[in-house]
Chains A and B, each alone.
Chain A
Amino acid sequence: MAVRCIRCKHIMVPPRSICPKCRSSRVEWVQLGAKGKLVTYTVVHVAPPQFKHMTPYAVGIVDMEEGVKLPSIIRTSRLESLKIGMELEVDFSPKSQETSWPHWPRYFFKETE
């Protein structure tokens, strides 16, 4: 879920109460779809302790169909196939990562099936 500014239509993730673009505080809930396109990516080889076991892993920024961008881990078995503009879809981890950080359900992106 995200919020959309009623005045300027800017979509905010995470939801916030003041629009950073037009400063209006009138916002409405909006349900985001599952699909987006890869804006940029990298493959992380040196990671903090919490992510070390996953290296190398891909992270990127995904432009959702609604016109809002999300940062995300990109799960793929073929890191070399990542390309700017490729279509991706969202999915959710059933359980949170095993870390000392607060636990909440995590989203990630994967190649469209």
Chain B
Amino acid sequence: MFKEGYGRREGVYARELFAEAALEAFHRVEELDPGKDIKAAFIGQMSEAYEHQAHDAPINASWAGLLPAPATRIENACASSGSALRAGIMAIKSGMYDIVLVGGVEKMTNQPTPEVTGILATASDYPFEQWNGMTFPGLFALMATVHMHEYGTTEEQMAAVAVKNHKNGALNPKAHMQKEVSLDEVMKSRMVAWPLKLYDCSLITDGASCLILTSPKLAKKLSDNCVHIIGSGQSQDTFCLHERDSLTTINAAKQAAQEAYKMADVKAKDIDVAEVHDCFTIAEIIASEDLGFCRPGQGGKFVESGASNIGGTIPINTSGGLKSKGHPVGATGTAQVHELYLQLTGQADRRQVADAEIALAHNLGGSGATGVVHILRSA
């Protein structure tokens, strides 16, 4: 059966997934003539190893009907499309283009899990991390171990992130795993890299996402359903985990958030809904601290309190997050913004956050060498 959205999409190539996402974006902009109006495309994709296909931006863009607009692949591991979005914003702000398409895609499930683990590990340092057998769950587990040691964060608190995000994902018709899980199921799932268990890890997912960017002036002419991007931040930290001063915070994301907050002239308390990079449950706990939603070290208690549930003070990952909606790595950054677009335009159905006006997307690359944060406001 043909399944739209994120999941195990057998029998299709990345380019077909990308065209599907592009078509949804085109349908949302009533007055747009995509082939004529879209002047450039910036497309996030992490690895050519999944499909043995590099130089794929022109493929994806042409399958979306954008020939001959220039198409460029942006690669920043799991922050590829967050970075593509930023490239698109710069393209519009510079005045070089009126309308651009940004997005991302990854087709991961045609490889067996150990191979996918190996391909993902290429986004960590080759001589020092890959050679030491440090998988991505392993790298985030190294952060989790310190977070538990320094702040008393528990495995149950990490599991609470999974329970919440699966609950949200069960309400998202495009999510990979539309299924609730219990705390007990998470705690009893098999060990991947202690203390992270299977249900602490995001999913290996196929999927694509697309956004259409233009200037505020032109946006009004093209659609009644647009949102404003009011803040953008990106920063980097040391590539290797062992070179960082602290393992309980991701400084690149913190810096990116500060830049985005400043540009948007808003504060953490102003955010109504957020999509954060929960590649592993500990990453959401650290993100809620780095973004200023709670104090350093309090991320475990924050999720446990229900503050980040739909209906809580700052609902996080209403889409289900990378955990339940899925993590097609190159597509994740713009997929987060897609969910926030739905929230800010009141189209999020059963997972709608009431009166959402300001939203934040937090996208990480690798173990946090890249951090990208965007802030959006309803029109």
CB-based contact B242/A44 at 8 Å = no
* Known contacts A14-B127, A47-B117, A54-B133; A42/B241 CB under 8 A: no
Which residues of chain A come closer than 8 Å to B117, judged between CB atoms? 46-48
Instruction: Mark B232-266 against chain A: 1 for CB-CB distance below 8 A, else 0.
Output: 00000010111100010000000000000000000
Query: Contact: B149 with A84, CB < 8 Å?
Result: yes
Q: How far is the CB of B289 from chain A (nearest CB, A)?
A: 17
State whether A42 and B132 are in contact (beta carbons under 8 Å apart), knowing that A49-B115, A59-B138, A84-B145 are contacts in the complex: no
Question: Interface size on B (CB < 8 Å)?
Answer: 37
With contact pairs A45-B192, A47-B135 given, residues A69 and B243 touching in the complex (Cβ less than 8 Å)? yes
- Residue on B with the closest CB to A58? B194
Closest-by-CB residue of A relative to B150 is A84
Please report the C-alpha to C-alpha distance between residue A42 and residue B146 in the assembled complex, in whole angstroms. 10
The chain B residue with its CB closest to the CB of A45 is B191
Whether the Cβ atoms of A43 and B146 lie closer than 8 Å is no
In angstroms, how far is the closest chain B Cβ from the Cβ of A70?
Answer: 6
B161 interface residue (CB < 8 Å to A) = no
Q: Is A69 in contact with B135, judged by CB distance below 8 angstroms?
A: no
In B137-151, the 8 Å CB interface with A consists of: 137-138, 141-146, 149
Q: B residues within 8 Å of A by Cβ?
A: 113-115, 117-118, 121, 127-135, 137-138, 141-146, 149, 190-196, 238, 240-243, 247
Q: Which A residues fall within an 8 A CB radius of B? A: 14, 20, 39-52, 54, 56-57, 59-61, 69-73, 84, 101, 106
* Contacts A44-B138, A70-B128 supplied; 10 other A-B pairs, CB < 8 Å: A42-B145, A46-B137, A47-B114, A48-B117, A49-B115, A70-B242, A71-B132, A71-B240, A72-B132, A106-B131
